[in-house]
Structure 1
């Protein structure tokens, strides 16, 4: 009659005792389908020190190719307070009231592990829609039904740290042009462009007019920097492809450097210590510095993000 998605053994029983943790009464059940409500989540309830929800698919869970059945699941409602690598093992029972006999149909599977990747367990085929809808069975009377849940947390543990890499399909690039004027009068070690967005993050170009580190005094140094590091939590890494160009204003060309780099809390800037020699940069025929002005462009694409589990 019912099955876990992976055909594990299910214990089916009948009991006069109602669930102790949560009940949901659904009136006008047929209107869920009429209004195209394929999935219904209850409010959260507490059991075993955690918050849970009941999740119902009145016409079956289409993502599991379930047809002609009601699908019912238990879902962990809130894991924000749990440490990375959390894992909760629980046994649960899901209930359906037989209103004719005033007793409950109960389905129970084996102990299940709830964690970041698998937050929801239950029964793809909790009950056939035909059996459920037949008033003589008592599950749907006057278009009203009652479902319930009991949850028993058996153990919890923190596993080793983990991470999730999400590559971004069809990543788009963002360009930002920075006009640097009065180059000969720049007297600070470095200058930053205005912030611009790429991949929902803020970035800036950082320019060292007299170079930095191994390029000090002989080179221009140019970097891309993450402008909002406070939004990057521990364990987060951002995979970025970027190009930085300085335009030849005489001949409509440019010099450019292109790389892919990871940005994180410990690596907020990436670029070139020796981007171009100051000798070449300042030559009048290079076109890179014209009327004491240079034009710097950054072209940035966020290709992926790694976050801690």
Structure 2
């Protein structure tokens, strides 16, 4: 559902978007993914129809069964991945350039003194012809202050973007297991990055105490290894039509 469709004031606006919905199995750490494949051009969101979804996503019995892990301690974890295919707004010229067969770029960053820093930035790396960096707050930021490590993906040079430019990317941030190489703590999201919206991530990415456990997987000799995987799907620019 479009959360603030009333802000799209001009009559006749349309947004075509494809989407996936996720439900996490909290026992195994896996996700049930449901995707609408009935329309290759995506679903058409407009003023008279601001929501699409699945009436029969899952049975109540399967959802409530504790063996499935979808509800744990009366809590479930849901997610959504949205891919905007086309936008149309009267009175505004839009140019949306989509990347055919987009490539995922990975950047691995080792921090030798994680806990002693208030904020650390990785070196700049390229993904989808744009410059990025990872930003970590070991002591937390915002709602995660003093309780969680906060982790973000951010544009490295947002001032270089022309006015109205937005970059649509999905990304995964991970803290890697340094002991066995088989586990990682991760978060996945997608976002429209721009000069005014330069970062996205999690203020409560992982509890500080979990990272600092003696003999833990993620902090070895005070060092942590963080990885970003970034896929740029498209770039849009818009100009006001006078």
Q: When the two structures are superposed, what TM-score results if normalisation uses the length of structure 2?
A: 0.59
Cα deviation for residue 184 of structure 1 reads 3.6
Q: How many residues get paired?
A: 149
Matched ranges for 1:150-229 at <5 A: 160-186=91-117, 189-229=118-158
Tell me the equivalent position of 1:278.
208
Cα deviation for residue 160 of structure 1 reads 2.7
Unaligned 5+ runs, structure 1: 1-158
Matched ranges for 1:121-160 at <5 A: 160=91
Unaligned 5+ runs, structure 2: 1-89
- Rounded Cα–Cα distance in structure 2 between residues aligned with 1:223 and 1:257: 10
Cα deviation for residue 183 of structure 1 reads 2.4
Tell me the equivalent position of 1:292.
222
Q: Is the 8 A contact 2:115 2:138 kept in 1?
A: no
**Which one of 177, 193, 209 corresponds to residue 248 of structure 1?**
177
- Rounded Cα–Cα distance in structure 2 between residues aligned with 1:198 and 1:184: 28
Larger radius of gyration: 1
Cα deviation for residue 161 of structure 1 reads 2.5
Relative contact order higher in (CA < 8 Å, ≥ 6 apart):
2
* SS of structure 2 residue aligned to 1:214: helix
Q: Is the 8 A contact 2:115 2:139 kept in 1?
A: no
**Which one of 174, 186, 192 corresponds to residue 262 of structure 1?**
192
- Rounded Cα–Cα distance in structure 1 between residues aligned with 2:114 and 2:189: 26
* SS of structure 2 residue aligned to 1:217: coil
Cα deviation for residue 200 of structure 1 reads 0.7
**Which one of 145, 165, 170 corresponds to residue 236 of structure 1?**
165
Q: CA RMSD in A?
A: 1.4
- Rounded Cα–Cα distance in structure 2 between residues aligned with 1:285 and 1:236: 46
Q: Is the 8 A contact 1:211 1:219 kept in 2?
A: yes
Q: When the two structures are superposed, what TM-score results if normalisation uses the length of structure 1?
A: 0.47
- Rounded Cα–Cα distance in structure 1 between residues aligned with 2:166 and 2:115: 37
Q: Is the 8 A contact 1:163 1:235 kept in 2?
A: no
* SS of structure 2 residue aligned to 1:176: strand
Cα deviation for residue 194 of structure 1 reads 0.3
* SS of structure 1 residue aligned to 2:211: helix
